[in-house]
Amino acid sequence: MAGWVEKRGENKWRLNVPGGTGPDGKRKVFRKNVEAPSKREAEKLLDLFAAEVLRGQYVEPSKLTFGQFVERWLRDYAEPNLAPKTVHRYRQMLETRILPAMGHLKIEQIKPLHLMEFCKNLQEDGIREDGKPGGLSERTILHHHRLISAILQDAVEWQVIPSNPASRVKPPRVKKQQAASYDETQFAALMEALEQEPLKYRVMVVLAVASGLRRGELMALEWKDIDFQKGTLEVRRAAQYLPGRGQFTKEPKTEESRRVVTLPPSVMYLLKEYKRHQAQERLKVGDLWQGSDRLFTTWDGRPMHIDTISKWFPAFLKRHNLPPLPFHGLRHTHASLLIGQGVHAKTISARLGHSNISTTMDIYGHALKSADREAAEKLDGILAGKRKQGQA
């Protein structure tokens, strides 16, 4: 073990690692303050610290800039633990606005005022990349604040800084927006319009509403995920696309996202019809078929691009004079229709693959309240009938 530990207080230790001789001829010692329940645990941290110094990876907090810490955060935390698409989005936010504004600052010198000024700048005219007037939306500013706060909180956990300055800054307040979805009348019109469309796209839309799957989960479905005997589908993977990397599959978003969803018999019948149709198309292509087991493929069997349905769906709605709705709105329609039928929020949460029921309640709180009022009105009708019978 190179170096030594010093006790600095209750569960507090200073790690000391010699680092050769400085320009002035004096012995240089790298120091780091840590928390550990015992000297033995502190010595374990000392070994890690010494290895970091030996590899030349240690940067003293007094010299470490926010930009340098972000590089390490991306390498040691984000890339190993987060979804590639999430890392890509974080890199865009960091490289476009956050690092140009704050990357040069020493991480230990960042104060709440720096963060408040940064958020204020995001509200100013000319900050948008699309050239439109005005600043960024409150929701986009909130996303920037949360990312900075998460990075600084990890700096606290890694004992680089003593506290998180972002925790002392009030994030922008964002008005809750009702999830975009179709009601029963609009959904009926949608289903009628689908009868005039190719079978493949009809199956995509119907399956999206019947299952509540996310777009990536839907586009990654394979025939082995469909159990025709039990009338279910299993979510095992999700498709994603990133510029420079192309399309790929990954694990579901969370452990709860890996799930089995029961489908209505009418949807299972439609899937059987579609599977027969796909087999016929495969025979026509012959040796050119690429051998994919995906439900949704290109003409030669390759997995369909994840963005294809997102481009087709708005054009389809416009052709049939249906109200605008993003493709993700079909997932919300699935939840709204179930809420309207009195299905319990916990069941809906499980079908959607939410990590907890509070997520479902937060997204669909408005619809749940409406359903609750309708239930109270129906109950009042029953009670009123009882009173009339008693009076008779």
Average pLDDT over the chain, rounded to an integer: 87
Order of all β-strands in the sheet with 27-35? 4-9, 12-21, 27-35
Which residues touch 157 (CB under 8 Å, ≥6 apart)? none
User: What is the average per-residue pLDDT within 159-172?
Assistant: 87
Instruction: Provide mean pLDDT across the span 321-335.
Output: 93
Give the model confidence (pLDDT) of 183-222 as tens digits: 889 999 999 999 999 999 999 999 999 999 999 999 999 9
Cα–Cα distance, 262 to 239 (Å, whole number): 21
Which pTM was predicted? Answer: 0.71
Is the pLDDT higher at 246 or at 390? 246
* pLDDT tens readout for residues 82-131: 888 899 999 999 999 999 999 999 998 899 999 999 988 888 877 777 77
How many C-alpha atoms does 267 have within 13 Å on its Cβ side?
Answer: 21
What pLDDT score does 376 carry?
Answer: 60
CA atoms within 13 A on the CB side of 13: 21
Q: How far is CA 368 from CA 46, 180, 194, 210, in A?
A: 54, 14, 28, 19
123-144 residue pLDDT tens: 887 777 777 777 888 889 999 9
What CA–CA distance (Å, rounded) separates 250 from 46? 37
Residue-range domain boundaries for the chain: 4-54, 66-168, 184-372
Q: What's the CATH number of domain 66-168, 3.40.1390.30, 1.10.10.1800, 1.10.1060.10, 1.10.150.130?
A: 1.10.150.130
Homologous superfamily of 184-372 in CATH? Intergrase catalytic core (1.10.443.10)
Residues 143-172: what's their mean pLDDT? Answer: 90
